Amino acid sequence: MSESLISSPAGILAVLAGITSLFFYLEKKTSWGFFNYFPPLIFIYLMPVACSNLGLIPTKSGLYDFMGDNLLPMFLTIMLLDVDIRATVKVMGKGIFVMLMGTVGVVIGAPIGFFIVKHGLGPEAWKGFGALAGSWIGGTGNMLAVAYAIGLDDSSLDFGYAVIADNAVYLIWLPIMLASKNFAARFNKFTGMSSDRLASMEKAAAELTGDKGRIEMRHFLYLFFFGFAVTALASWLAEYIKPLPPVLSYSTYKILLVTFFAIGLSFTRASKIPGSHALAMALVYLFVARMGAKADLSNLSVSVLWFLLGAYIWIFIHGFVLVGAARLFRVDVHTAAISSAANIGGAASAPIVAAYHKTSLVPVSILMALLGYAVGNPAAILAATLCKWVS
């Protein structure tokens, strides 16, 4: 007899999908400001943690393994189809370099923050920092992909700490990004921004067309085909190249190959398929619920406090590098804030910051976040490797 009340794959999926749906329903129907500071993501992770640790669903299931091996690279492919590198560069100009320097700040901040607090953490904690780097460079999808790539057991406390730190830092960093608007004049004077930069950027943003047309049944079939085809091809190639130097694991090669192929597809007509972003994000959140269901809280310790301290040190290193980049490339505070939000918060937070700073830049903020998806996996794997070296 199973130890959990619900153990069938269909039953487990029903619980995970129900939890995921519930919190987005509440966010939409209630419009509570509460969700601006405690986004649905944190509940979508924590509720399955409670369900599995209280015995409603199991912490181990063949369903979870199938989702990790096939669903994760599949949604990553679909998510990356939306990346439009050319349009992002056209609109943001030098702002692209600011965002990429913010990414550099995340990469170098990871080993520094980890080095300071590693004495209070376990031997595998560097993997938790690597997964968090995936979230802070791209988004939740990258966090999941990087965890898989570096062999982080998603039932481990280190992954749970990464999720907790991601949301705890968000509570501090989002208000800072929003409040930066109040210092626009002084910031722009500090960076020496060109007086016509904002006007030219808004003009380019107004020319963007993001509507792909009406979603039809066949579009979902196209997306599933591309998602599973890329997953199958990457899995096959990873088996053959894993013995080659540099010696990386099968999972690392697989995620890097999926990223490479998906970005390649983003330059083709596959990027025009309607519904790709919505489908990918629905699968991302379902996968987050799966991560929560696998978590075992029996060994929870004060190490989480050390992890949080390292994360806060890390985020301010990112901020310091970002401000330096804004000064170097002479950009405005709006670009700097959106660049940071595109890294740290991804597609969920960047539009919020953009809407508060300048509504006309909301489409650009989404493009910036999608660019983060593209660079998130290789950059976060590099950050994880640096953390491993100092561990």
At 122, phi and psi to the nearest 5?
-80, 170
Give the pLDDT band of residue 314 (cuts 50, 70, 90).
very high
Residue 135 has pLDDT above 60, yes or no: yes
Give the pLDDT band of residue 297 (cuts 50, 70, 90).
low
Domain contains 378: yes
Which token pair is 190? Answer: 């500090």
Name the domain count of the chain: 1
User: How does pLDDT run across 340-380, given as a tens digit for each residue?
Assistant: 888 887 766 777 787 777 767 777 777 788 788 888 889 99
Domain contains 3: no
Give the pLDDT band of residue 1 (cuts 50, 70, 90).
very low
* pLDDT the model gives residue 296: 66
Domain contains 2: no
Domain contains 44: yes
Domain contains 238: yes
* pLDDT the model gives residue 156: 77
Give the pLDDT band of residue 195 (cuts 50, 70, 90).
low
Give the pLDDT band of residue 208 (cuts 50, 70, 90).
low
- In whole angstroms, give the CA distance from residue 295 to residue 48: 9
Q: Which residues contact 84 (CB under 8 A, 6 or more apart)?
A: 266, 271, 367, 370
Domain contains 78: yes
* pLDDT the model gives residue 258: 87
- In whole angstroms, give the CA distance from residue 150 to residue 308: 21
Give the pLDDT band of residue 318 (cuts 50, 70, 90).
very high
| Residue range(s) defining the domain that contains residue 20 | 9-207+214-390
With 0.85 as the threshold, say if the pTM is over it.
no
* pLDDT the model gives residue 122: 85
Domain contains 155: yes
* pLDDT the model gives residue 20: 92
Burial of 212 (0-12, 13-18, 19+ CB in 10 A): middle
Domain contains 4: no
The arithmetic mean of pLDDT across residues 251-275, rounded, is: 86
* pLDDT the model gives residue 18: 95
Mean per-residue pLDDT of the chain: 84
